[in-house]
Amino acid sequence: MSGPVRLGDLLAQLQEVYRPSLRGHWQRRLVNRIRRWLDREEVDLFWTEDEEATATGDRLPLPGRVRPPRWLFVGGPLSPEAAVVAEVLTSHIATVAGLMEAGASRELPPRWRSLLTPRQGQVAVLAAEGASNEDIAVELGIAPRTVARLLQETFTRLGTTNRQALAAECALGRPPTPFLDNAGAARLSSGHAGDPLSAEDDPLPAEEED
């Protein structure tokens, strides 16, 4: 790199990030642009509380953010020119993060929005699209073992066990029919789900003979 972008150039370029992004694949692209704009490779944003807790270096707050990302992390002091750029940039990053999160949330099935964390939702969507754990790790900038953990947590929360079920629900926007919750799956595995209805299960009362 040859130094941070000039402030005037930055303002002209910022409009590029104010656009919809399919399936939430915007995080790494945004971070890469920030690094280019500030000419600092160690600059980062984090999307989980765990990552933020272990981060070291200077923290530049993102205005109005109450959920990750809340900070722009820099490994050390910025040059005066880059500091001016960063001051303008943090407010725009906060706005971009809010807009992109809202767009990505609308693309998730409603049940996922209520049961999954934002990061689990990102992993679930990528897995539903057929991406491997390694591909997901590269896309989101996390370790493959973290992807495996998030995917297992996702399966548990959604009551499913495979990517095919994720793909079906992602395509439909709802669980595929028939959908069995955990209790229904337990009945099916025990062999009772197909038993004839008992008298107390029968929703219609028997007709009385004249």
Task: Of 77, 79, 70, give the one whose Cα is nearest residue 51.
Answer: 70
The reply to whether 131 and 166 lie within a common domain is yes
Q: Is residue 126 part of a domain?
A: yes
- Return the pLDDT at 72: 93
- Return the pLDDT at 207: 46
Q: Is residue 47 part of a domain?
A: yes
- Return the pLDDT at 141: 78
Q: Which domain holds residue 153?
A: 110-183
The reply to whether 45 and 84 lie within a common domain is yes
The reply to whether 52 and 75 lie within a common domain is yes
Mean pLDDT, consecutive 10-residue stretches, the chain (210 aa), reads 81 72 64 89 86 87 90 90 91 84 70 87 85 85 90 92 85 62 52 42 43
The reply to whether 91 and 117 lie within a common domain is no
Omega within 30 of 0 (cis) for the link into 63: no
The reply to whether 50 and 137 lie within a common domain is no
The reply to whether 13 and 96 lie within a common domain is yes
The reply to whether 14 and 84 lie within a common domain is yes
Q: Which of 58, 85, 106 is the last residue of a domain?
A: 106
Asked whether 111 and 82 are in contact (CB, 8 A), the reply is no
Asked whether 46 and 65 are in contact (CB, 8 A), the reply is no
| CATH code of the domain in which 123 resides | 1.10.10.10
Q: How many domains does the chain have?
A: 2
Beta carbons within 8 Å of 78's beta carbon, 6+ residues apart: 38, 40, 58, 86
Predicted TM-score of the model (pTM): 0.53
- Return the pLDDT at 71: 93
Return the number of other C-beta atoms located less than 10 Å from residue 71's C-beta.
20
